[in-house]
Amino acid sequence: MTSSRGQNSGADSTSTINVVPLTLHIGAEIRGVDLTKPLPFNQLRDVRAAFLKWKVVFFRDQHLDHAQHVALARQFGEPTIGHAVFGYVDGHPEIYSVAKNRTANENREAMPVTPWSGWHADITAAVNPPAASILRGVTIPPYGGDTFWTNLVAAYNGLSPTMRGFVDRLRGIHAFMPREAAGARSEYNESVKGRVLRSEHPLVTVHAETGERVLYVSP
């Protein structure tokens, strides 16, 4: 996984893409692009527009290595460190491996439920969290292990006017916290203590590009 902030553009092109919506409110598959190479300007523009509209986009059969993954991220903005607390892949500081033996999964068998096992957003405890993440599937199981996404613009719009007025005024504290059930000297807890992240954000924020109001959930 790698994350990016900001936006870039390249040379003009007449290249087009095919955007196939997957549900009513969120998710679209994008066809007709080769992510191993720099995207022509029109494709880059249309991919970003599809992402802003559908919140998460999918590309099938794109076989990228780490360098190509980072190069793709740079087309959309400045990549951040792989993970603000748990680090990155050796040689590629922009990439964090979401693997079963990572520190975040420590004691997973003994702790099947964690605060982030349900709906969450990544790295919101940072003062300036990344705008987006690029998740690349390398080893994919034949079944199970599904990742779900939700549209927090639709969630906000689904609230009653009274509830919107209430949450519009709220702020939340976002923080990485040591696991109470884990050993005091666990690798996870030591990583969290070594890089304290704690910030305050409005519960509802306005998207800088679309102007949409978004519920802002914690990590």
pLDDT digits (tens, 9 = 90+) for 87-109: 778 899 999 888 666 655 555 55
Burial class for 160, CB neighbours closer than 10 Å (0-12, 13-18, 19+): exposed
Both tokens of residue 173?
Answer: 């504290």
Compute the distance between CA of residue 189 and CA of residue 152 in angstroms, rounded to an integer. Answer: 30
Q: What is the pLDDT of residue 97?
A: 85
Domain coordinates in residue numbering, the chain: 2-215
Burial class for 2, CB neighbours closer than 10 Å (0-12, 13-18, 19+): buried
Would you place residue 9 in the very low, low, confident or very high pLDDT band (cuts 50, 70, 90)? very low
Count of C-beta atoms within a 10 Å radius of residue 112:
8
| Tens-place pLDDT, residues 14-33 | 468 999 999 999 999 999 99
Is the Cβ–Cβ distance between 123 and 3 less than 8 Å?
yes
Residue 131 has, within 13 A of its CA and on its CB side, a CA count of 18
| Alpha-carbon torsion, ordered 154, 4, 188, 90, to 10 deg | 150
Q: What is the pLDDT of residue 127?
A: 85
Would you place residue 123 in the very low, low, confident or very high pLDDT band (cuts 50, 70, 90)? confident
Sign of the alpha-carbon dihedral angle for 140, 25, 174, 78: positive
Burial class for 60, CB neighbours closer than 10 Å (0-12, 13-18, 19+): exposed
The phi, psi pair for 10, rounded to 5°, reads -130, -160
Compute the distance between CA of residue 36 and CA of residue 33 in angstroms, rounded to an integer. Answer: 9
Both tokens of residue 22?
Answer: 């997957």
Q: In the predicted model, what is the mean pLDDT of residues 108-132?
A: 71
One DSSP character per residue, 22-87 reads -SSSS-EEEES--TTSPPPHHHHHHHHHHHHHHS-EE--S----HHHHHHHHHTTSEE--SBTTTB
pTM of the model: 0.81
| Tens-place pLDDT, residues 150-209 | 999 999 999 999 999 999 999 999 887 776 655 556 777 777 777 778 889 999 999 999
Q: What is the pLDDT of residue 7?
A: 44
Q: What is the pLDDT of residue 129?
A: 86
Look at residues 48, 50, 55, 23 and name the one whose alpha carbon lies nearest to residue 152.
Answer: 55
Average pLDDT score over the chain:
83
Is the Cβ–Cβ distance between 172 and 216 less than 8 Å?
yes
Q: Which fold has domain 2-215?
A: Double-stranded beta-helix (3.60.130)
Q: What is the pLDDT of residue 13?
A: 44
